[in-house]
Structure 1
Amino acid sequence: MPHGDHPQAPLAAEALREAEESCLRRGVQLTPLRRRVLEMVLEAGQPVGAYALLDRLRAERPGAAPPTVYRALDFLMAQGLIHRIERLNAFLPCMEAPHGHEHDHPHQFLICGKCGRTAELSDDTVARAVAAAARAAGFSPVRATVEVEGTCGSCAAAG
């Protein structure tokens, strides 16, 4: 089932606290820069690109360069705190993590072509079906991300 839209400011503080606790449990460091990039992803409310994050970061840290943001994003993805939407070349927070879920959970994304709203699913049935189809084709899957483009309920209702 969809987890809905991604958190805005009120939920961002709780998500940041949980991310810090998750990193501590894993023995990795959520540095101030990584924390700030995660905070910006959480605040975006929709998938956000690396260069949009860089522009925001440069307002606070004038010397910030693309590798700065990409290293932070790579860390956040490795920790399961954010996902990359390939179709949009953008990032959004993981709605499953760090709430005690395995950070490598199956995930699917529903992307509205009109408003850009993106909902995250974590449906094991979909993941098993994709894995079974891959195996039937002689392929050994490791992980799969499914991105479904369409129209969200709000946009469909608006006509």
Structure 2
Amino acid sequence: MSFLERVIRGSSFGAASRGRMSRRDYRDAPRARKPEPAPSIRRLVIAAAARYNVAMSTKRVAPGTAARGLTPARRAALDILTKANRPVGAYEMIDLLADEKGKRPAPISVYRALGYLLDQGLAHRLASRNAFVICGHSHEAGEPVIFLICDECGEVSEATSPELTRGLAGMTAAAGFQPRTRVVEIAGLCGRCAAAGRKEG
């Protein structure tokens, strides 16, 4: 006899008829499944960061294509990178994007905007700083990009080198390696800070 039939007929030693469940009834009762925990916002943000915080893209697009795809959020992120003219972290950008009332955008929306800028070649990610900079150099698709990063003032200069392009192409070809990114980050002192240090010395 099923649990439901025992309850309806008042069996199970009369426990059901008194409105109580016997030990056997409790043991045989179907258990409700615990709901799966919803993913936290932090986990969603980390997942988005893993997708977008990859090494920078050097893909170039046809003129005007990127501009047509600039939503207000993407344009706002691009404007911040342009005005800052220095590396900006994602969470710093969230603070800078806060409106007059202090309301900040969701982190995942900022990562999506930055991901678009990376894909369109409008910005780059500095892996050593975990920050983003505006693309300040016109380079071809797949062309290696060099970043000179000043440890003192934080200035970042972007450059390309035909010699480096040929050298890296020959090295990777000899190794049978297919590069996903071609980025070189060099940390040190910019000319201005180096000169200031010499004067102080």
TM over 0.5: yes
2:87 aligned with 1:47: yes
Match of 1:95 in 2: 136
2:149 aligned with 1:119: no
Match of 2:125 in 1: 84
For residue 177 of structure 2, the aligned residue among 117, 139, 147 is 139
Change (3 A) 1:127 1:114: same
Q: In 2, are the aligned partners of 1:135 and 1:141 still within 8 Å (CA)?
A: no
Q: How much does 1:116 deviate?
A: 1.1
In 2, Cα distance between equivalents of 1:45 and 1:63: 22
2:77 aligned with 1:37: yes
Q: In 2, are the aligned partners of 1:79 and 1:103 still within 8 Å (CA)?
A: no
SS in 1 for 2:157: strand
In 2, Cα distance between equivalents of 1:32 and 1:104: 29
Which of the pair has more CA radius of gyration? 2
In 1, Cα distance between equivalents of 2:73 and 2:118: 15
In 2, Cα distance between equivalents of 1:104 and 1:138: 17
Match of 2:194 in 1: 156
Q: In 2, are the aligned partners of 1:134 and 1:140 still within 8 Å (CA)?
A: yes
Q: Deviations over 1:95-122 (max 9, x none)?
A: 135xxx5455431100111111110002
In 2, Cα distance between equivalents of 1:108 and 1:76: 19
Q: Which amino acid aligns with 1:64?
A: P
Gaps of 5+ in 2: 1-61
Identity of aligned residues (%): 44
Q: Which has the higher contact order (CA 8 A, sep 6+)?
A: 1
In 2, Cα distance between equivalents of 1:139 and 1:103: 18
Gaps of 5+ in 1: 1-20
Q: In 2, are the aligned partners of 1:77 and 1:83 still within 8 Å (CA)?
A: yes
Match of 1:110 in 2: 148
